[in-house]
Amino acid sequence: MSDRVHYPESVRLVWTLCAMLLGSCSAPPPPPAPAEQVKPDPAKEPWYAQTVQDLQAMNREAKGLIEKGKNSEAATIVTSGQLLSTRLLSAPEPTLAAMEAVSDLDDLYARMLLRNRHYEWARSFFQKNATRWKYWRPATPDTAVRLKAAQAGIAECDRGMR
């Protein structure tokens, strides 16, 4: 005779159902990790280079208007250039050309504010440029000149606020 115990079919069915219930109570497996979405670099998109060129053109136009004494027209251009500036700076790593165009716009705006004796506002724009060029890498002779110009603008504002 066999040493095995033979259970009736109903007992085996109960044990099978219990095993199935216990197995279904376990936590479901974790969902697969979402695929890493690689965001495109805006600085490599065609619109980015075009926006840099547009902002550079606006800077040249505003500077020319300032030289002709047409400050209100220049102010309109500088104000509308802020939108392009923001768009260019949205890139995680803006290009040097973009940074220069944004810096030139900020410098124009700061000088206009300085001329109108809005020293605090002008100083904030010069300070942005000083910070921008102080930490730009790799530093170049041109970025050093831009840093010194921003620091001179800050000093001029400080003298005006005394």
Q: How far apart are CA 15 and CA 122, in angstroms?
A: 82
- Two structure tokens written together for 59: 């800077």
Residue 2 has pLDDT above 80, yes or no: no
pLDDT band, very low/low/confident/very high, at 30 (cuts 50, 70, 90): confident
Return the pLDDT at 147. 98
Q: What percent of the chain has pLDDT over 90?
A: 74
**Once rounded to an integer, what is the mean pLDDT over residues 82-104?**
96
Q: How far apart are CA 23 and CA 116, in angstroms?
A: 78
DSSP state of 35: P
99 contacts 51 by C-beta, under 8 angstroms: no
pLDDT in tens, 139-150: 999 999 999 999
pLDDT in tens, 6-29: 667 776 777 776 666 666 666 667
**Once rounded to an integer, what is the mean pLDDT over residues 27-43?**
79
**Once rounded to an integer, what is the mean pLDDT over residues 130-145?**
96
Q: Which amino acid is at 5?
A: V
pLDDT band, very low/low/confident/very high, at 159 (cuts 50, 70, 90): very high
41 contacts 88 by C-beta, under 8 angstroms: no
Residue 102's CB is within 10 A of a number of other CB atoms, namely: 25
Return the pLDDT at 126. 98
105 contacts 55 by C-beta, under 8 angstroms: yes
